[in-house]
Amino acid sequence: MFPSLRSPTIAIITAILTWPQIAATEDRLPALIIRVPESVTTLFVAETSTAQFHRFDRKGDKLALVGSYYMSIGRGGAGKQRSRDKRTPLGAYFITEQLDTSKLHTKYGVSAFPLDYPNAWDLRAARDGDGIWVHGVDPATGRRPKLDTDGCIALTNEDLSVLAPEFRDNVTPVLITRAVNWVDASHNRALRIELEDRVNDWANSRKHGDLHAYLSFYDDEFERWGMNLTEWSSLILQTDSLRPIQEAAVSDLLLTGYPEEEGVYLSRFQQKLLEADRQTVITKRLYWRRDASGELKIIAEDDG
């Protein structure tokens, strides 16, 4: 028979056995996170299957998981398709503003932060509805069941109060997915380089005003504003919006996998357009998908 072990001995053995597991997870991130610019100091990943709202903060040149918070989502579960289906959307969104909830229903708690649902990818998929927020809870009832909102994400008031300073208008991403696939931080290196090159090459084609080169980046199934690629190309020609310019620089490039869409990626960045003595800075979103040959092509596009 084995000799009996006292509690301190058991504790020491347990700690030793868990050391490798802790070390193995220190440098792991969701596979959705590909590149995060310095301008984004905090990123959130909402994991609906575990009811966890994960917070990632920039630590030097890396991102690190610094906390996970209980959340409640829509009564209909995840995967919003239409207005009033009481489902929480799955996708890549951004905080747009902070709302004063003092004059709203008490169910919204201490504060509320709208997300920009529906985005270009949602519209392409014919999803509708609006009013998707990250908000608090009624102080009188406290923590809500896992499936209990009209489609929003509800955090406890205590947690939301802690996180509120990290929500920045039109900067802070919120990726909503069913389940997080945790990978080593270096896992996406090749994909990151490939996407960076595609975005920069796209911007350079815009600079030279070469319509043929510019359109070569777009998928045959591209859609924007309800127009297909042929209709959209004609609009560009009619409006002379692709004339040569002096500069089309890309900065603040964010790259993510698109939740629940295998092989689809989002690039969001600032684009500075310099023409004669006029400078314009716009925020662009390009949604990329591999075509039959394996090349990344733009399948949807939006500003903001």
What value does the CA radius of gyration of the chain take, rounded to a whole number of Å? 22
- From residue 242, alpha-carbon distances to 195, 236, 237, 248, 276 in Å are 22, 7, 7, 11, 15
pLDDT at 142: 83
Whichever domain contains 91, its CATH number is: 2.40.440.10
Burial bucket for residue 151 (CB in 10 Å: 0-12, 13-18, 19+): buried
pLDDT at 241: 67
Residue 217 lies in a domain: yes
What is the count of structural domains for the chain? 2
Residue 171 lies in a domain: yes
Give the Cα separation of 132 and 150 in Å (integer): 9
- From residue 49, alpha-carbon distances to 53, 66, 79, 82, 88 in Å are 11, 20, 12, 21, 12
Domain stop point among 162, 184, 206: 184
My answer on whether 60 and 154 are in the same domain is yes
pLDDT at 24: 32
My answer on whether 239 and 135 are in the same domain is no
Give the Cα separation of 150 and 131 in Å (integer): 9
Q: How big is the CA angle at 137 (ends 132 and 138), to the nearest 5 degrees?
A: 130
- From residue 160, alpha-carbon distances to 69, 157, 164 in Å are 9, 5, 6
Residue with tokens 């394996």, as numbered in its chain: 294
Residue 267 lies in a domain: yes
Per-residue pLDDT of the chain (304 residues; tens, 9 = 90+): 333 334 443 333 333 333 333 333 558 999 999 999 999 999 999 999 999 999 999 988 889 999 999 999 999 999 999 999 999 999 999 999 999 999 999 999 999 999 999 999 999 999 999 999 999 999 998 889 999 999 999 999 999 999 999 999 999 999 999 999 999 999 999 999 999 999 999 998 887 878 888 899 999 999 998 899 999 888 887 776 677 778 888 999 999 999 999 999 999 999 998 887 788 899 999 999 999 999 999 999 999 8
pLDDT at 222: 96
pLDDT at 12: 34
Collapsing DSSP to helix, strand or coil, 171 comes out as coil
My answer on whether 94 and 219 are in the same domain is no
- From residue 283, alpha-carbon distances to 6, 62, 132 in Å are 62, 24, 22
Among candidate residues 56, 36, 38, 37, the one with its CA nearest the CA of residue 46: 56
Full residue range of the structural domain in which residue 194 is found: 189-303
My answer on whether 177 and 264 are in the same domain is no
Domain stop point among 165, 184, 203: 184
pLDDT at 4: 37
State the DSSP string of 184-248.
ETTTTHHHHHHHHHHHHHHHHHHHHT-HHHHHTTEEEEEEETTEEHHHHHHHHHHHTTT---SEE
At residue 198, φ and ψ (nearest 5 deg) are -65, -45
Residue 40 lies in a domain: yes
User: pTM score > 0.75 for this model?
Assistant: yes
My answer on whether 173 and 199 are in the same domain is no
Residue 8 lies in a domain: no
My answer on whether 175 and 43 are in the same domain is yes
Collapsing DSSP to helix, strand or coil, 59 comes out as strand
pLDDT at 143: 85
My answer on whether 159 and 268 are in the same domain is no
Residue 47 lies in a domain: yes
Whichever domain contains 250, its CATH number is: 3.10.450.50
My answer on whether 49 and 122 are in the same domain is yes
Domain stop point among 144, 167, 184: 184
Collapsing DSSP to helix, strand or coil, 140 comes out as coil
Find out whether 135 and 157 touch, Cβ atoms under 8 Å: no
Residue 102 lies in a domain: yes
My answer on whether 229 and 279 are in the same domain is yes
My answer on whether 34 and 178 are in the same domain is yes
My answer on whether 293 and 167 are in the same domain is no
Residue 1 lies in a domain: no
Length of the chain: 304
My answer on whether 161 and 141 are in the same domain is yes
